[in-house]
């Protein structure tokens, strides 16, 4: 695992955009895995800017988002489909028919999960997967104690997650109780994983994920097993890392 610490959130977001640019330059039809959440807002702003100012081309790429709430329509401002359209897709030259999110309104949710998993496979798997991290260490909506061999499925949101995500809803009662998420195994199969965490509130869980034991109680610790995973942090999110431990066991990069 490579850990890159940037001076602030903006330079961390810029670095994530560099990873995307490099992937798309090498493979214009790359399969990108995408994430939502407040941490990602800046990433999408920078990606849009890089498209307009730097010509970053999304016309051939395909995308798969990590997750979607169950029971929200695509045009609901709280759905992740809406988030992606609003913050990213509508601002760049991406072909919307090649953008995928699980359908949280599907009649048969189990079938939808199997279909999503199959679609990722049929597209050749994910080349670069962007991840955030929940306050409880979740990846996507793989809440604590998700099995590391889990696949795309429906999960129940924990109280911690509901409170964390409440900021994007008008009130706590409106947060769906369930979501569809890529499984941990689906995530670990991506050829490259890129986790972005910024801000003080993520410092404790980031330290557990990177330097703690590999355990299902911290889903993100599963990334320690991934052969090509980069953690991009700002100084605040990196502030609880036991540097000596990390330096001895993992590649540790301090950006200028």
Could you list the residues that contact ligand GLP (CB under 6 A)?
35-39, 66-67, 132-134, 140-141, 161, 165
User: Closest distance between ligand GLP and the C-beta of residue 181, in Å?
Assistant: 7
Q: Is 159 annotated in the active site? A: no
Q: Is 138 annotated in the active site? A: yes
Q: Choosing from 46, 100, 138, 226, which is the catalytic residue? A: 138
User: Closest distance between ligand GLP and the C-beta of residue 25, in Å?
Assistant: 26
Q: Is 8 annotated in the active site? A: no
Which of 189/245 has CB closer to ligand GLP?
A: 189
Q: Is 200 annotated in the active site? A: no
User: Closest distance between ligand GLP and the C-beta of residue 30, in Å?
Assistant: 20
User: Closest distance between ligand GLP and the C-beta of residue 140, in Å?
Assistant: 5
Check: CB of residue 150 under 8 Å from CB of residue 184: yes
Which residue's structure tokens are 């169950």?
70
Of 16, 127, 114, 108, the residue nearest 61 (C-alpha): 127
Q: Choosing from 13, 46, 67, 68, which is the catalytic residue? A: 67
Q: Choosing from 13, 65, 112, 136, which is the catalytic residue? A: 136
> Which active-site residues does the annotation give?
67, 136, 138, 143
């Amino acid at each position: 695992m490579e850990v890159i610490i940037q001076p602030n959130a903006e330079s961390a977001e810029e670095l994530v955009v560099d990873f995307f640019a490099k992937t798309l330059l090498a493979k214009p039809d790359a399969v990108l895995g995408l994430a939502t959440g407040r941490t990602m807002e800046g990433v999408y702003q920078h990606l849009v800017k890089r498209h307009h100012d730097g010509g970053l081309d999304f016309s051939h790429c395909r995308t798969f988002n990590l997750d979607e709430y169950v029971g929200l329509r695509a045009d609901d401002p709280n759905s992740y489909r809406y988030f992606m359209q609003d913050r990213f897709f509508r601002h760049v030259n991406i072909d919307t028919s090649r953008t995928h999110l699980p359908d949280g309104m599907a009649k048969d949710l189990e079938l939808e999960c199997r279909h999503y998993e199959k679609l990722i496979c049929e597209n050749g798997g994910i080349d670069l997967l962007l991840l955030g991290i929940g306050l409880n260490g979740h990846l996507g909506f793989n809440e604590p104690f998700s099995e590391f061999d889990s696949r795309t499925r429906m999960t129940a949101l924990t109280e911690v997650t509901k409170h964390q995500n409440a900021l994007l809803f008008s009130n706590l009662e409106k947060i769906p109780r369930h979501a569809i998420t890529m499984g941990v195994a689906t995530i670990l199969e991506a050829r490259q994983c890129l986790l972005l965490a910024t801000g003080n509130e993520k410092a404790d869980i980031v330290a557990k994920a990177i330097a703690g034991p590999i355990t299902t109680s911290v889903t993100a610790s599963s990334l320690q097993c991934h052969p090509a995973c980069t953690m991009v942090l700002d100084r605040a999110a990196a502030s609880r890392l036991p540097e000596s431990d990390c330096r001895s066991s993992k590649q540790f990069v301090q950006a200028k």
